[in-house]
């Protein structure tokens, strides 16, 4: 042993003694300084698998992206202010390259905000952008709200909105009166006229409730989405005061049950980690559909179950990405060529073990996915026909 190694060993041992037991180096690590503890954030293993890599630059068939966020507004403040993340001229070239015929901007806002998103997206490009209306949450504690909200849906329909978008605001953020009041329930009867109005006008409801199951468990070393929750602590719904995922899902089921003539698209595969439960819901509720937005990470890590799911429910699954033309904070949603190519690869190829998001570290959990290699007839339904039927477009 050289003098240098002796010195390092002694200093290392002294430093290690101050560390908690689970962070101290093992005898094997002491003997080989290369095997030093490595922070999780710096770990970026490269796969040594030699497997097929297919680049799918363009979708095999024209598609509808049913789930995008070109615009965004604060749903709770009632200010009707609309933010555009990108202008049509920045989005259209990507749509051309990727074979995206139509994008549905779900977060179209309410009141004056909705007018602006319709005016700048749908009116100039009626065949390329559709816009959904959002409920006017800030007015929900007021008397007369049930009728007001149903009327808003009708007014939005006349103005050109094609569906209603409900964010997870309902169930997880919207409270009675004050910020500290009780959470408003998803199946609260004050929304019944709104669900019915949408059904009568053939406007599908795009509804996101709950969140990934790991967001409802402790943020500790057993949490499979630890890094994501560590980066976004406010995404955790673990602890007292929060409903469980299942409570939220069951409340949405009661709404679908009560409004059989209204079509509900349960976003993010409803609960993508539990396809058996989603299947049970789809079997029970003929007016239920799902989209796959921001959940190919879940579907692609259970590719055999997912392929069966796509086969069985091929008429009720919609293509969506959650694409948002803004920033790099959520790489799994970053609008652009790269995002779409990953979705195409997942649906169209049988490639194995590839990244589900354009990011150096998988942002929704450290795993990779395998493609489904869907047959062409199913692909056409998922890409276009199912959404076209719901949106009353020519097929």
Nearer to Zn ion, 67 or 381 (CB): 67
- x/- map, 297-326, Zn ion, by CB under 5 A: -------------------------x----
CB of 9 to Zn ion, least distance (A): 53
Positions in 194-213 near Zn ion (CB under 5 A):
none
CB of 106 to Zn ion, least distance (A): 6
Positions in 52-81 near Zn ion (CB under 5 A):
none
Nearer to Zn ion, 70 or 374 (CB): 70
Nearer to Zn ion, 70 or 382 (CB): 70
Q: How many chain residues bind Zn ion (CB under 5 A)?
A: 1
Q: Tell me the C-alpha distance between 308 and 40, whole Å.
A: 35
CB of 34 to Zn ion, least distance (A): 44
CB of 243 to Zn ion, least distance (A): 20
CB of 24 to Zn ion, least distance (A): 44
From residue 138, alpha-carbon distances to 122, 175, 234, 252, 359 in Å are: 26, 10, 21, 21, 36
Nearer to Zn ion, 322 or 341 (CB): 322
Residue 134 sits in the site that holds Zn ion (CB under 5 A) = no
CB of 166 to Zn ion, least distance (A): 11
Nearer to Zn ion, 163 or 371 (CB): 163
What size, in residues, is the chain?
Answer: 395
Report the 3 state secondary structure along the chain.
CCHHHHHHHHHHHHHHHCCCHHHCCCHHHHHCCCCCCCCHHHCCCCCCCCCCCCCCCCCCCCEEEEEECCEECCCCCCCCCCEECCCHHHHHHHHHHHCEEEEEECCCCCHHHHHHHHHHHHCCCCCCEEEEECCCHHHCCCCCHHHHHHHHHHHHHHHCCCEEEECCHHHHCCECCCCCCCECCCCCHHHHHHHHHHHHCCCCEEECCCCCHHHHCCCCCCCCCHHHHHHCHHHCCCCCCCCCHHHHHHHHHHHHHHCCCCCEEECCCCCCCCHHHHHHHHHHCCCEEEECCCCHHHHCCCHHHHHHHHHHCCCCEECCCCEECCCCCCHHHECCHHHHHHHHHHHHCCCCCECCCCCCCCCCCCCCECCCCCCHHHHHHHHHHHHHHHCCCCC
Distance of CA 47 to the CA centre of its chain: 26
CB of 294 to Zn ion, least distance (A): 7
Q: Which residue is nearest to Zn ion (CB)?
A: 322
Q: Do 320 and 267 form a contact (C-beta atoms < 8 A)?
A: yes
Nearer to Zn ion, 232 or 261 (CB): 232
Nearer to Zn ion, 140 or 333 (CB): 333
CB of 139 to Zn ion, least distance (A): 23
HSE-CB at 342 with a 13 A cutoff on CA atoms is 29
Q: Tell me the C-alpha distance between 80 and 37, whole Å.
A: 51
Nearer to Zn ion, 228 or 322 (CB): 322
CB of 333 to Zn ion, least distance (A): 7
CB of 69 to Zn ion, least distance (A): 6
Nearer to Zn ion, 187 or 322 (CB): 322
Q: Tell me the C-alpha distance between 363 and 368, whole Å.
A: 11
Nearer to Zn ion, 300 or 320 (CB): 320
CB of 388 to Zn ion, least distance (A): 20
Nearer to Zn ion, 298 or 322 (CB): 322
Q: Using CB under 5 A, list all residues that contact Zn ion.
A: 322
């Amino acid at each position: 042993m050289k003098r240098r190694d002796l010195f390092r060993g002694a200093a290392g041992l002294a430093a290690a003694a101050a560390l908690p037991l689970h962070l101290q180096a093992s005898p094997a690590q002491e003997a080989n300084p290369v095997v030093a503890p490595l922070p999780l954030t710096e770990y970026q293993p490269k796969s040594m698998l030699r497997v097929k890599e297919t680049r799918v630059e363009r979708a095999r068939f024209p598609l509808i992206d049913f789930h995008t966020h070109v615009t965004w507004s604060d749903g709770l403040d009632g200010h009707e202010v609309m933010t555009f993340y990108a202008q049509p001229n920045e989005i259209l070239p990507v749509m051309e390259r990727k074979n995206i015929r139509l994008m549905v901007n779900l977060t179209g806002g309410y009141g004056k905000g909705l007018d602006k998103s319709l005016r700048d997206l749908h009116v100039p490009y009626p065949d390329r952008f559709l816009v959904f209306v959002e409920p006017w949450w800030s007015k929900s504690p007021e008397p007369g709200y049930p009728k007001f909200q149903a009327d808003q849906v009708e007014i939005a329909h006349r103005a050109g909105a094609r569906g209603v978008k409900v964010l997870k605001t309902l169930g997880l953020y919207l409270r009675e009166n004050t910020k500290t009041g009780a959470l408003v329930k998803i199946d609260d009867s004050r929304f019944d006229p709104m669900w019915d109005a949408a059904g009568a006008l053939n406007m599908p409801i795009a509804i996101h409730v709950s969140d990934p199951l790991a967001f409802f468990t402790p943020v500790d070393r057993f949490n499979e989405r630890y890094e994501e929750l560590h980066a976004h602590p406010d995404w955790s719904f673990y602890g007292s005061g929060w409903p469980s995922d299942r409570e939220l899902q069951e409340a949405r089921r009661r709404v679908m049950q009560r409004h059989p003539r209204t079509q509900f698209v349960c976003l993010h595969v409803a609960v993508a980690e539990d396809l058996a439960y989603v299947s049970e819901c789809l079997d029970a509720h003929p007016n239920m559909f799902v989209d796959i937005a921001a959940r190919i990470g879940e579907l692609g890590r259970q590719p055999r179950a997912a392929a069966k799911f796509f086969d069985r429910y091929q008429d009720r699954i919609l293509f969506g990405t959650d694409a948002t033309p803004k920033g790099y904070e959520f790489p799994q949603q970053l609008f652009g060529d790269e995002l779409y190519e990953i979705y195409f690869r997942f649906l169209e190829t049988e490639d194995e073990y590839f990244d589900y998001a354009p990011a150096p570290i998988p942002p929704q959990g450290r795993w990779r996915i395998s493609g489904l290699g869907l047959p062409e007839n199913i692909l056409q339904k998922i890409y276009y026909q199912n959404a076209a039927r719901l949106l009353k477009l020519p097929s």
